[in-house]
Chain A
Amino acid sequence: MAQQKESSLFNMLTTLVVITLISGFALAYVNQLTIKPIQQAQLSKKKDALVEVLPEFDNNPVDTRYAVFVKALGDSVEVYKAYQSGELVGTAVNAFSPDGYSGDVRIMVGFLPDGTIHAISVLEQTETPGLGTKMTEAEFIDQFADKNPKDFKMQVVKDGGQVDAITAATISSRAFCDALQMAYAVCVDSCDANTGATSTDEKTH
């Protein structure tokens, strides 16, 4: 059996350097291996949400995404367009509200071209388990399906709107409605602009 190495300065330094080098290279290698799957996992989450909230489409909405800056939030939200054989069938907006019970509420909303809500998917929330988290459940979310925000007031009943809040989680419900309203505002802007957007875009470039 070899003797335990003595703790001279040289020995200590070389040991630490060698160990750190080996682990650095090992990690760089694993990093290379996992970088693709990580990106794919992040993309597929978005894609899944898009498939969920948009009607059938045949393009890749992720390629059409662009950001819209929202002044009220000081941040931008992403907009995706879905086409079926060249025709616009829906717009998805990735919106959020910072006013959840504990942190951001981030949702993906799919609108039909006339502004009707097709479906909603909650991407991220850290609300109270069992209370605020009910916003991810069909019972709450389905009340928005096929509603047009033009004649559906997207505020909780308590605030004079038409949304049935989650029992004992008004703040979470409010944040959800805020995010939804923002998504709608962005969608209306982009839909109006969109009718002529592609042509004007081409001209300006």
Chain B
Amino acid sequence: MDYIFIVISAILVNNIVLAQFLGICPFLGVSHKVSTAVGMTGAVLFVMVIATMITYLLHQYVLVPYNLLFMRTIMFILVIASLVQMVEIILKKVSPPLYEALGVFLPLITTNCAVLGVAMLAVGMEDASLLKAVIFAIAHAIGFGLALVLFSGLREHLNLMSVPKGMKGVPIALVTAGLLSMAFMGFAGMV
């Protein structure tokens, strides 16, 4: 039951992009086409889940027992940065097609605050466990993907519309994101 709550809450109610404002940079940056949005989602899902797993274990078995919580931010960001590099190298060797699909997005992920944000939220959860943290990460990645894909679909259509000159580009995209976020607000109170 707990897990269902986590999933619904992460995807719809507290959507990571539209309600918690994490990962706004890729949300605005790579949302011009649906196909790139899907690729980005795949890369984020991949990195977010592995990063959350590793940071969770580090937090639980190194930082907490040795009273090193003040190193948390540094540890987490280093894990994520090196993880991204490693994933890039491994993918290149093991699965060239997958690398082809995700490769361009990987370097962008280091500074995607959604990854660091979810890792930090996961260790702060009440009675957390590794399984819970992983489900938490998967659900948030899906929420990120949902918002990104929906938004890029809207933007593709937006390109065909005539928009007032001053509102062209980023401003109208932001207002659209606002309307999307408003739609997601309808889910509030569900959990």
The smallest beta-carbon distance between B125 and chain A, in angstroms, is: 12
Q: Which of A81-132 contact B (CB under 8 A)?
A: 101-102, 128
The smallest beta-carbon distance between A150 and chain B, in angstroms, is: 32
A28 near B70: Cβ-Cβ < 8 Å: yes
A101 near B71: Cβ-Cβ < 8 Å: no
Secondary structure type dominating chain B contacts? helix
A27 near B71: Cβ-Cβ < 8 Å: yes
**B14 at the binding interface (Cβ < 8 Å):** yes
**A24 at the binding interface (Cβ < 8 Å):** yes
Q: Which of B167-191 contact A (CB under 8 A)?
A: 188-189
C-alpha gap A128/B74 in the complex (Å): 33
Quick one: which of A23, A27, A102 contacts B188, CB cutoff 8 A? A102
A101 near B189: Cβ-Cβ < 8 Å: yes
Chain A residues in 8 Å Cβ range of B74? 20, 23-24, 27
Secondary structure type dominating chain A contacts? helix
On chain A, the number of residues with a Cβ less than 8 Å from chain B's Cβ atoms is 11
C-alpha gap A84/B86 in the complex (Å): 64
The smallest beta-carbon distance between B97 and chain A, in angstroms, is: 31
B189 near A171: Cβ-Cβ < 8 Å: yes
C-alpha gap A28/B70 in the complex (Å): 7
Chain B residues in 8 Å Cβ range of A24? 71, 74
Chain B residues in 8 Å Cβ range of A20? 74
**A143 at the binding interface (Cβ < 8 Å):** no
Which of B70, B71, B74, B188: most chain A CB closer than 10 A?
B70
Q: Interface 1/0s, chain B 3-34, versus A by CB < 8 A?
A: 00000000001100000000000000000000
**A31 at the binding interface (Cβ < 8 Å):** yes
Chain B residues in 8 Å Cβ range of A171? 189
Q: Which of A1-54 contact B (CB under 8 A)?
A: 20, 23-24, 27-28, 30-31
C-alpha gap A128/B186 in the complex (Å): 13
A102 near B14: Cβ-Cβ < 8 Å: yes
The closest CB in chain B to the CB of A35 belongs to B70
C-alpha gap A128/B14 in the complex (Å): 13
Chain A residues in 8 Å Cβ range of B13? 102
The smallest beta-carbon distance between A158 and chain B, in angstroms, is: 15
Q: Which of B90-127 contact A (CB under 8 A)?
A: none
The closest CB in chain A to the CB of B74 belongs to A23
C-alpha gap A23/B188 in the complex (Å): 42
C-alpha gap A27/B70 in the complex (Å): 7
Q: Which of B13-66 contact A (CB under 8 A)?
A: 13-14
Chain B residues in 8 Å Cβ range of A31? 70
A-B contact pairs, 15 of them (CB 8 A): A20-B74, A23-B74, A24-B74, A27-B70, A27-B74, A28-B70, A30-B70, A101-B188, A101-B189, A102-B13, A102-B14, A102-B188, A102-B189, A128-B188, A171-B189
Query: Which B residues are closer than 8 A to A by beta carbons?
Result: 13-14, 70-71, 74, 188-189
New contact pairs (6) apart from A102-B189, A171-B189, CB-CB < 8 Å: A24-B71, A24-B74, A27-B74, A28-B70, A101-B188, A102-B14
